[in-house]
Structure 1
Amino acid sequence: MNKRCENIYKTARKNAGITQEKAAELLYISSRTLSEYENGRLIPSDDIVYQMVELYKAPWLAYQHLRCSSEIGKKFLPDITLTDLARSILKLQKEIKDVENINNDLIEIGCDGIIDDTEKDKWALATKEIDEMAGAALAVIFAR
């Protein structure tokens, strides 16, 4: 698990203002097991993470857990940067503008439904921008 993902469980618990001992008790796991999760030595099961999400009132944790702990999540879920609501909204507005700037290329590529060799670079940029916009939208939903 990468360094950024190792502490998502600890961050969620600390943001909830719950001690490690209390969280372990409420999750019906040992403090040592919770410590292993929080230090990236073990990956909690989806069932445990669901309990953490409920206990910590942190829906973003479910997303980050899937993104960090599964190959499907690593490959297909866009990266999100969690921040305050105002910054998240501004980032989303910026990403929307970036997608608007490539709109003509999207239309041109989409007209024939084929990405030919001359359009591959434009398509790569378009998918990058759309991915960034999707991540920014999710960051707004999960804003703290």
Structure 2
Amino acid sequence: MIKDFGLLLIKARKSAGYTQEQASELLDISVRTLAKYEANQIKPTIDKMNDIVEIYGNEYIGYQYLLTFRLGQKLFAPIENKSFSETVLSFIANIKKSNKCIDDLIEIGADGKIDKKEQPKYKQILNTFRLMTKDILILKFCKNKKAEPFNKQSSI
């Protein structure tokens, strides 16, 4: 989970090219409210966060917002700091692993249940797919594919 969500909001706003005054007007909130969001004094509502994502053109900030909640932490994986090329190679390696996983999954699921002896293999399959999902998210949120990963860039 992001430790300083307010700082992330500031970077996203600046990356979108807005001052606090401009952003607050577009978001239909006071400058004071936006300043409180950016200072981590209050959290935007889910509806206001949706507006922020749309106005700033930044889905990554929405993903990180969800990770500020316990439920979001249970459902979504934090995204690691990896370069674009490292992520592409990781994703390709996991795609290659997934071919065997698919065969194993067919074998495990053929009888409609997961036996105790099949559980370790099933967990490995799920882990491979989880790693692929994380790589997909990193690729999705990478703004400049030739540059550093999203969380090393000055813009988000």
Calculate the TM-score normalised by the size of structure 1.
0.73
SS in 2 for 1:112: coil
Q: Is the 8 A contact 2:21 2:31 kept in 1?
A: yes
Q: Percent sequence identity over matched residues? A: 35
Specify whether residues 139 and 45 from structure 1 end up closer, same or farther in structure 2 by C-alpha distance, changes over 3 A only: same
Q: Is the 8 A contact 1:49 1:62 kept in 2?
A: yes
Structure 1: give runs of 5+ residues left out of the alignment: none
* Number of aligned residue pairs: 143
Specify whether residues 42 and 87 from structure 1 end up closer, same or farther in structure 2 by C-alpha distance, changes over 3 A only: farther
Of structures 1 and 2, the one with the larger relative CO (CA 8 A, separation 6+) is 2
Tell me the residue number matched to 1:110. Answer: 109
Amino acid at match of 2:31: S
SS in 1 for 2:110: helix
RMSD (Å) for aligned C-alpha atoms: 3.0
Partners of 2:98 and 2:10 lie apart in 1 by 35
Tell me the residue number matched to 2:138. Answer: 139
Q: How do 1:90-109 residues align onto structure 2 when only pairs under 5 Å count? A: 90-100=89-99, 102-109=101-108
Specify whether residues 59 and 108 from structure 1 end up closer, same or farther in structure 2 by C-alpha distance, changes over 3 A only: same
Q: How do 1:37-56 residues align onto structure 2 when only pairs under 5 Å count? A: 37-56=37-56
Amino acid at match of 2:29: I
Deviation, 1:78, is 3.6
SS in 2 for 1:3: coil
Specify whether residues 4 and 109 from structure 1 end up closer, same or farther in structure 2 by C-alpha distance, changes over 3 A only: farther
Partners of 1:102 and 1:78 lie apart in 2 by 21
Deviation, 1:44, is 0.7
Q: How do 1:1-144 residues align onto structure 2 when only pairs under 5 Å count? A: 2-3=2-3, 5=5, 7-69=7-69, 71=71, 73-81=72-80, 86=85, 88-100=87-99, 102-144=101-143
Structure 2: give runs of 5+ residues left out of the alignment: 144-156
Deviation, 1:126, is 1.8
Q: Is the 8 A contact 1:43 1:69 kept in 2?
A: no
